[in-house]
Structure 1
């Protein structure tokens, strides 16, 4: 049984949206963003073409198949839920959310204008599932790309596990 859920539409400008512990993310970026000794994170070539998500400290960027309005569902669980059997692509990553406050935004949606939710503070496991769906019943720019529900399941964990692909979708996949 989920603890909390948030279903929303967001303008996935540039084919992406972000789920972030914004206060922690901004603090990390202010201190480490230009550190040449850190390995690349976020939208690496592998993230763009294989993973479909970019992972940074306190942040997950979800790559979308459309540069358009997309539908997403974030659900918080007490433990790992069953995987979505109809998902085309499923990946998991760690999301450190020490404040317990998540903000959702995109290049075209400021965090103050996007949805947000309270989650258990601390280390979370995030499963991002790309579930095929029908076109939205809202005005969109009608651009190319498949329609998906971007389902993000979160649950507390006490151990970082890194990045895992549970089900690899087709490549190329967007556009």
Structure 2
């Protein structure tokens, strides 16, 4: 099986974008959106300051260093890939994708207007790597923050695992 991939630019409004299996995520939100102890988009204090990703069922919020257009790459692998040696920060978590259709959006990009990717309909392990790069090939707002390629590697897994930081980037990290 050849690896499937999707490279895209997205407006990381409010310094984030989402990778979600939208149908089960929306169903989960119907039951949990008003929970007073639930941080929006999974953005706990540790998520903001250490992990750089927010995690909820069927959803990963990727924190970006810029409130701007950012470049991302999602690759689906048959097996766990090697880590990217040039990445400044690397974190892994699980992403349950029971429908096998991932939607990519942000606070400024509706899921219907963002890219999508078909993946194995099962529990996936997701590795998010922050790889230093040049500005994307589009005009940006010129605001503060370093440029990264946000690389998301996905592969099937049979067993749920906790979030793990494989390489901790500097802190503070955004802006």
TM-score range, shorter chain: over 0.9
Q: CA RMSD in A?
A: 1.3
Match of 2:131 in 1: 131
Map 1:126-165 onto structure 2 (within 5 A).
Answer: 126-165=126-165
Map 1:1-175 onto structure 2 (within 5 A).
Answer: 2-35=2-35, 40=39, 42-175=42-175
Count of aligned pairs:
174
TM-score by length of 1: 0.96
Contact 1:2–1:75 (CA<8 Å) still a contact in 2? no
TM-score by length of 2: 0.96
Q: Distance in 1 between matches of 2:134 and 2:169?
A: 18
Shift of 1:39: 6.2
* Structure 1 residue ranges, 4+ long, deviating more than 6 angstroms after superposition: none
Q: Distance in 2 between matches of 1:155 and 1:33?
A: 28
Which structure 1 residue ranges, 5 or more long, are not aligned? none
